[in-house]
Amino acid sequence: MRLINRHPGKHGARLLAVVPFIALIVLYLTASAVRHAANPMDKLLPTLSQMASAVNLMAFTQDMATGDYLMLTDTLSSLQRLIEGLVISIGISFVIGIAVGMLPYLRKLCVPFIAAFSMVPPLAILPILFIIAGIGETAKVTLIVIGTAPFMIRDLIMRVEEMPKAQLIKAQTLGASSWQMALRVVVPQMLPRLIDSLRLSLGPAWIYLISAEAIAAQDGLGYRIFLVRRYFAMDVIIPYVIWITLLAFIFDVSLRLTQRYAFPWFAGAKSQ
């Protein structure tokens, strides 16, 4: 049989999915064991038990100076920045995206400007943000907004524009005003698409969050990683990276599930 027609069974498929993960873990553990056999003080590839004790120290032991659980405080402040940034970004892009997508005058006014603005590398204007807004929370949240909003705005404008024209004509023949069309036809159809757009923006949002924290912060996941880097504390960095990845994954899955259950019509409509 041709390769393109061979399909794994149900169990085979599951097995295939976990293979790369297991391979990576095995590869790491072997390399770590080899290095520790050569040099018991190796810091580059810490063993599982070293990482476990580091996690224990960071996550489950009160910090002597502040009395906080550091990993928890880091996670909460990072998530707060991330969520604040994304919520502002969603708000801005939803309003602008739909208004610009629907109204020809706004399209002519805004599309070239947004296209140009979205080319500005957000990290390059981070110093400007620090100068204007200080090194507090505002600058970090603003960076996330500047980093993600232009993409989401452009994406939404395109999604509005690619709605079948017949639908808007139909709505007008049913007596809808522009406002009613926005409210009853465009917005409800854009909400699930906004979730898609948000899922794609999560990656960049994390990048900007961690960059901002690396440069100026007193806590946060990115701050901690860059802080302990000075001591080659790979036993802290690696668990933090895995934790960040897990958080991002949970965000993604919960957005996907929200889309499926809040907009049951969407999957069917997309495949038509």
Residues that bind another protein (CB under 8 A): 164-167, 169-177, 179-180, 183-185, 188-189, 263-266, 268-269, 271-272
Question: Least distance in Å: CB of 125 to another protein?
Answer: 38
CB 260 within 8 A of CB 199: no
Q: Sign of the C-alpha dihedral, residues 111, 113, 119, 125?
A: negative
Closest distance of CB 258 from another protein, Å: 16
Q: What is the DSSP letter of 120?
A: S
For residues 31 and 4, give the distance between their C-alpha atoms in angstroms, rounded to a whole number.
36
| CA nearest neighbour of 239 among 52, 63, 25, 68 | 52
The least distance separating another protein from the CB of residue 163, rounded to whole angstroms, comes to 9
Min dist CB 254 to another protein, Å, is 22
What is the distance of C-alpha 203 from the center of its chain? 4
How far apart CA 241 and CA 224 sit, in angstroms, is 11
Query: In whole angstroms, what is the distance from residue 230 CA to residue 214 CA?
Result: 12
Which of 184/229 has CB closer to another protein? 184
113 versus 179: smaller Cβ distance to another protein: 179
> Of 111 and 191, which has the nearer Cβ to another protein?
191
Q: Which is nearer to another protein, 68 or 162 (CB)?
A: 162
CB of 178 to another protein, least distance (A): 10
Nearer to another protein, 131 or 174 (CB): 174
Neighbouring CB atoms inside 10 A of 153's CB total 26
Distance of CA 106 to the CA centre of its chain: 29
